Chain A
Amino acid sequence: MKTPLLQFTKKGIYCKEADVYLDPWRPVDKALITHGHADHSRWGHKQYITYNKNVPIIKHRLGDINVSGVDHNESILVNNVKFSFHPAGHIPGSSQIRVEHKGEVWVFTGDYKTEDDGISTPFQPIECNTFITECTFGLPAFKWIPQDQVMNDINQWWAENKADGQTSIVFAYSLGKAQRVLKHLDPSIGKIYTHGAIENMTNVLRELIDFPETELITKDTKKEAIKGSLVLAPPSAHGSTWIRKVVPYVTASASGWMTFRGARRRRAIDKGFVLSDHCDWNGLLESIEATGAEKVICTHGYTDIFSRYLKTLGYDARTEETQYEGEVPEGEIAKNDLLNVD
């Protein structure tokens, strides 16, 4: 049997023909990186190659690394294997990676979503033979509400809180979700404040994207000034002493997990907005169909259930273990809020 074009090894997804890894989780010589979340772009590789708009993001996150950028749809050849990056729509700078060798095409999605969020280059399905897909929300219970409707709800919630003399805190990951929410906030309601982790990342992205004005909360920020404003903070700030500055406040989380009533209650958060940077059930199924792939490999999320269903639809589907964080949203968030689980 011939070696498959991409293999799942202890270090990550490996292309033997080119001696290259995709989003490896252990240090390697040459790594192709889909996007800037911590479970996909890790420390310690000798060489990073990624989409050029992702370069400043991972440099900000990983510091002094050896990284080169390529444009979307631009091919690079490594030992006769053709690699190219294509929009994944997940977060700013995110890509899928297409791998072609001797007429065979594989696509690795990293993380992706089908809805245009207004800050990431929208997802484009790429024709392939084998499609390696995430399925974080691979259950028919997940159906996203259109973004403008969710953002209307968020803005309305903010306005109501302000009228009640309360500050609105939205917990969102510092890379991706925070900027997505920020982009669509209505600055006519009030001022937008940020936590340091979000302010820094947003400033990196301001080079590429136009955002409403924000102000970092520092020790000199006056408590009275914050009252009635909207504060963007990473989930780890929930329950920290930092938050005392913002009293009186109401909290919200914007995540796909907020679909479940139980999840909202468990997090002791006042309000849950269903807003995800991953595909919902239909998004996954439509994307897979659009690639025309015969083989589908499910990497993280509800992999067993989702691949079983794909088989009933006639796909040659299977699951592979990776270290991308799909099913552990509750446990992992506290450790690293850059780690994208949603």
Chain B
Amino acid sequence: MKKQGGMAIFAALIKTLDSTNKTNLKVKALASYFKSATDEDKVWTIAILSHRRPPRPINTKLLREWASELANIPLWLFEESYHIVGDLAETIALVVPNAIEETPKSLTDFLQEMIWLKKQEENEKKYYLFKNWSKLDYYQRFVFTKLITGGFRIGVSQKLMTRALSQATGIDEDILAFKLMGNWDPNKISYQELILEENEADYLSKPYPFYLAYAVESEVKDLGDVTDWYVEHKWDGIRSQVIVRKDELFVWSRGEELVTDKYPEFAAFIKTLPSGTVLDGELLPYPNRQIGTFNDLQTRIGRKNVSKKLLETTPVILKAYDLLEWDGVDIRDRPFSERREKLEALYAKVKSADLPLHLSEKMEFNSWGEVEKERALSREKRSEGLMLKRKESPYLVGRKKGDWWKWKVDPLTIDGVLTYAMRGHGRRSNLFTDYTFGLWNQDKTELVTFAKAYSGLTDKEFKEVDAWIKKNTLERFGPVRSVTPHHVFEIAFEGIALSKRHKSGIATRFPRILRWRKDKKIEEANTLEDLKSLIPNKE
């Protein structure tokens, strides 16, 4: 067998990962890659799969123009093809003339070229692309273009990659997870430094696995005596664990992602919380010293560099609800009431320091009826509902039934009419699965767009709607089609607020399709006024 170049091996790995939905096969393929690839290429592969690619060397507008030029097709035809294929790199790899060469170069070679390419003149960039597009075989061409355009959607999370790396190296997963955190530059660090070298600090950061609750299944009164339970609101932020050990701070999100750098507010904890403290709580936006909406938080998620202005307009707080480690001792097996007492004592001690730390209010009730009344206030209090925690419960690992329950408020719902449709992406490419819904205006003459949704139907229903859309298209606007108003869908959403950015004047949070109301005619769909009436305490 001839020796393959690093790029060919990497492309084969991506192909394998992309052609299976089975997690164990993905881990197996990755682990075997990590055992055989060169150290240099391994570092780049880890970087790419943990979203640390070099900055995009060429903008997508030029990519599209040059691909259509090389394919000898007009730009509009390229764009139409892109709408149908649903992925830019895949479209480019498909339309340019086929080649069969397998490159002897390594993955590292290509990425270093891309770093170099960013600083080059346009004609140099074009020459580089044409050369590679017309030489590489189909799958390598696709992977090459993906490296330029952005993320691989191949169902490989950082966690899965870490698991494979752990299998290949024998190093504990949590330690690897920590090693891979923070700002390291794949162009400067070696595999030895990144992965293999022992590091005392690795153990300091280790979070505890989160205890997760199931939704209440039947009647809450079946949970027994209400006085056995503490009740809290269920906050709509990011579940987080905050660790202070040996003058260092670590903030882990529920995805077991280390997000310390994203939330510099919490640096104040290092001086105020004693070493050996681990808090469990909800990371929440706190604009104007009030709990904000999830939308506010969205401006912070994903930002690696937080501007001073953003810190002022949208600061975050931790609403703490549990204490997992105290004085360096794991206290998860102690009853919740005891952990909670310690947490409250800690909070009382530090609260004068004006830290971004709040307590999640613990409530006790005399009847389940009272609990239900509190639940009804959830939307006003900006919570998603209630958390019910047994006073005696230890802090368990993962999602367990029995001691912790979430009791969310029912979603708001409204009946809207399907008005526009767009093709989906990824596994839904070429299927119309992204829908826009309208509600009637006051005199029921016009449908006004109020929400977009692309989840909630079964695959079978999506197929049915897709087939219908293809036969009932009124107009096409690039990827979007307007369709004959005919189908009514019940749309559920979690929150609602007035909005200037939306045509309807109303923003809905997390809209999704609840059910297809085949029994309803479009005349029976709701109006915008109906939607407005759902807004709690309108200003």
Contact = CB atoms under 8 A, between A and B. Distances in A.
B431 A141 contact: no
B81 to A, nearest CB: 5
B94 A262 contact: no
Interface in B440-476: 459, 463-464, 466-467, 470-471, 476
A260 B78 CA distance: 15
Contacts of A261: 18, 87, 90, 429
A45 interface: no
B94 A304 contact: no
B24 to A, nearest CB: 14
A284 to B, nearest CB: 13
Given A140-B95, A143-B94, A262-B87, A305 B431 contact: no
Contacts of B62: none
Contact of A331 (B73, B76, B81, B463): B463
Contacts of A139: 80-81, 84
B250 to A, nearest CB: 36
Q: Dominant SS at the B interface?
A: helix
Contacts of A186: none
A305 B77 contact: yes
A66 interface: no
B468 to A, nearest CB: 9
A297 to B, nearest CB: 19
Contacts of B471: 328
B467 A264 contact: no
Interface in A256-273: 257, 259-266, 268, 270-272
Nearest to B97: A143
A309 B77 contact: yes
Interface in A324-341: 327-328, 330-332, 334
Interface string A235-258: 000000000000000000000010
B352 interface: no
A79 interface: no
Contact of A305 (B21, B80, B94, B467): B80
A312 interface: yes
Contacts of B86: 260, 262
Interface in B406-463: 425-431, 459, 463
Given A265-B426, A309-B77, A330 B431 contact: yes
A189 B499 CA distance: 65
B470 A328 contact: yes
Interface residues of A, number: 30
Interface in B61-116: 71, 73-74, 76-78, 80-81, 84-87, 90-91, 94-95, 98
B13 to A, nearest CB: 15
Contacts of B74: 309, 312
B95 A264 contact: no
A302 interface: yes
Contacts, number: 81
B21 A268 contact: yes
In this complex, the member of A262, A265, A309 whose beta carbon has the largest number of chain B beta carbons within 10 angstroms is: A262
A264 B476 CA distance: 26
B328 to A, nearest CB: 47
Contacts of B81: 139-141
Interface in A74-94: none
B84 A302 contact: yes
Nearest to A268: B21
A327 B77 CA distance: 18
A309 B84 CA distance: 16
Nearest to B93: A141
A330 B94 contact: no
Nearest to A266: B427
Interface in B19-65: 19-21
A79 B19 CA distance: 57
B80 A331 contact: no
A280 to B, nearest CB: 11
A264 B71 CA distance: 25
A331 B425 CA distance: 17
Given A140-B71, A141-B91, A268-B21, A262 B427 contact: yes
Contacts of B431: 266, 330
A139 B78 CA distance: 9
B20 A328 contact: no
A332 B86 CA distance: 21
Given A140-B81, A309-B77, A327-B470, A264 B464 contact: no
A140 B77 contact: yes
A331 B189 CA distance: 50
Interface string B2-20: 0000000000000000111
Given A262-B428, A305-B77, 7 more contacts: A139-B84, A261-B429, A262-B430, A266-B428, A266-B431, A309-B73, A330-B467
Interface of B: 18-21, 71, 73-74, 76-78, 80-81, 84-87, 90-91, 94-95, 98, 425-431, 459, 463-464, 466-467, 470-471, 476
7 contacts: A141-B84, A259-B94, A262-B427, A312-B74, A328-B470, A330-B463, A331-B463
